Amino acid sequence: MELITIAVLTGTTRAQRQSHKVAHYIAEFGRQLAGVEIIVVDPTEFNFPGDGNDPEGKDSRYSEITARADAFFVITPEYNHSFPGSLKRMLDSELENYNHKPVAFAGVSDGNWGGVRAVESLVPAVRETGLVTLSWDVYFPHVQAMFEATGALKPEYAERYDRNLGKLFDELLLFARLLKQIR
């Protein structure tokens, strides 16, 4: 089986970020799948000077990861009905490396809606980059109540989320394999 590399992008640099627990859960889930390599991309560990995708606005480590990735999984919290600026800045720093590669989304919020407005506002932005969106996502409302202090997803959520995430990874991998053939 051909190895598929998935870059898991975490959406915020906020020190108290709850969405990082979601990113960790999704990354660990992906690591259990056969033939999958997961690379977690945390914007706190990268440096993107200025704006845009000129050579001086890139971080070469992010360029290498995005060139290598066959697919992307973006975890975004909702900030003022949109997605965080640090995620936009990171996404903006590349262009060709995204073309004809699929992307899945996880939305996160501390309220009822699970970050759906953040994901809805991400879709047109990533579409412009050449990333290929899927027809469904996964959402984590009331995220502050979903995880144990250890960072593990609480047992009452695990069965449903494991099932939904499994289906989403299946779809992401299907498109990753298909699109790899035409790149």
Ligand X SMILES: Cc1cc2nc3c(=O)[nH]c(=O)nc-3n(C[C@H](O)[C@H](O)[C@H](O)COP(=O)(O)O)c2cc1C
Q: Shortest gap between Cβ of 23 and ligand X (angstroms)?
A: 9
Residues 9, 7: Cα–Cα separation, whole Å: 6
Residues 1, 4: Cα–Cα separation, whole Å: 9
Nearer to ligand X, 103 or 108 (CB): 108
> Do residues 108 and 114 lie in contact, with contact meaning Cβ atoms separated by under 8 Å?
yes
109 binds ligand X (CB under 6 A): yes
Q: Shortest gap between Cβ of 107 and ligand X (angstroms)?
A: 9
Residue with tokens 């709850």: 18
Q: Which of 110, 120, 162, 171 binds ligand X (CB under 6 A)?
A: 110
Angstrom distances, CA of residue 5 to CA of 59, 83, 86, 134: 19, 24, 23, 17
Q: Which stretch binds ligand X (CB under 6 A): 28-36, 90-98, 106-114, 124-132?
A: 106-114
How many binding residues for ligand X (CB under 6 A)?
16
Tell which positions 39-98 bind ligand X, by CB under 6 A. 77-81
CA atoms within 13 A on the CB side of 134: 24
Interacting residues with ligand X (CB under 6 A): 12, 14, 17-19, 77-81, 108-111, 113, 143
